[in-house]
Amino acid sequence: MSNIYGGRGIEIAEGGGAEIKDSAGKSYIDFLCGNGSELFGHCHPTLVEAAREALNFPWTCSPGLLNQRRDKFLGVLSGLMPDGKAFLCNSGTEAIEASIKLAISISLERGKSNKIIALRRAFHGRTMGALAMTFNPIYKKPWSEFLIPTQHVKMEEAVEAIDSDTAFIIVEAIQGEGGVYPMSQDIARGITEKCKTTGTLIVADEIQTGWGRCGALLASRDIGLDPDIVALAKGVAGGLPVGAAVWKGAIGDFTSRGHGSTYGGNPVCASVGIASWQLLHTEKLPERAINNGNLFVSMLKEINSPLIAEIRHKGLLIGIELTVKSEPVIRTLQEKGVLALAAGPQILRFLPPFVAEEKHFKEVTQILKNTLGEFGS
């Protein structure tokens, strides 16, 4: 296997809910959760049953053919936007690529220039279009001369940067990979108002923040953004490979043959996506995300450590800014049975699933307290 991901040195053998075991039988509380894609936890019985039932039917379907499961899932997604339309693909970065192409196509029809605005600290993916929107120079340097020109501005400069030449602005309601930085409601509303005045499209990257993780189906709307196009992925089908671009029908559509995806709308993934949508509502999971996120953060704030500079969160997206490097802390947490991830050199990120329980939050808090005690007092 390519070494682009590095390695954590453990092999996952089994799991359920918020816990997994490695091939040596060691248990972990999983607040890494496939970089947030296991939003419903591991092997959720409702999602397992949906997948099992769907496997008795054709596993794939040509995009030109109708499919009941895919069409129903498209209907669910389209309902997120006024007179909505949706395009299904297989991942977050594909959802961003589709959103970029759609925004460019519509902007050209409107006679806009090629001015694109993204935010500093933004992460939108590593394929060439998405990489142009991503800020971190480390990701971009080898390909920089081939990328779409994009103006990156500070979050607080975004409103002023938008003008009548701007084709679109792409934003995250909470910058996850960039350090768990929430956008304020004032900035969000300012972007919305300015874009309506200038005719600029708003593309919201909801890959990590959407589908209930941050307490709302779309975190962007929750803070005052009015996106024209939304990119979704990660937990939408409980960790199966699904991405989607969803947009307001009134803004337009792809040109004929303007985009495509062989596996997008896979009936098995679509079936699990429908089941996950139903779970969001029947079990009131966005509300649970708010309550559990607040509970967890209240526990974390009880840790009396000078190594914690700040805790930022919305729902079940939690970032802890440390005064030391985050990677050694993450490695030590793993040794003690907790999986987490970084969001920058000094940011520790937790992405608990909906099914995480109070006992998990208590145990993770205690292990983090002990771990930080080993790095200084």
199-256: pLDDT as tens digits: 999 999 999 999 999 999 999 999 999 999 999 999 999 999 999 999 999 999 998 8
Work out the percent of the chain whose per-residue pLDDT is above 90. Answer: 92
- Structural domain boundaries of the chain? 12-30+286-375, 47-282
**CATH number for domain 47-282, candidates 3.40.640.10, 3.40.50.10860, 3.40.30.10, 3.60.21.10:** 3.40.640.10
SS (H, E, C) 149-175: CCEEECHHHHHHHCCCCEEEEEECCEE
Tell me whether strands 181-182 and 201-205 are parallel, antiparallel or unpaired.
Answer: unpaired
Mean pLDDT (whole number) for 301-308 = 96
**CA 263 – CA 313 distance, rounded (Å):** 34
**pLDDT tops 80 at residue 2:** no
Tens-place pLDDT, residues 257-289: 889 999 999 999 999 999 999 999 999 999 999
**CA 259 – CA 97 distance, rounded (Å):** 10
The model's pTM: 0.96
Residue partners of 179: CB distance under 8 A and separation at least 6: 121, 312, 319, 321, 343, 344, 347
Mean pLDDT (whole number) for 60-72 = 91
The token pair that represents 112 in the structure block: 């806009």
CATH number of 12-30+286-375: 3.90.1150.10
**CA 65 – CA 58 distance, rounded (Å):** 12
Which region, left, alpha or beta, applies to residue 344 given φ > 0 means left and ψ of -120 to 50 means alpha?
Answer: left
Residue type for position 248: K
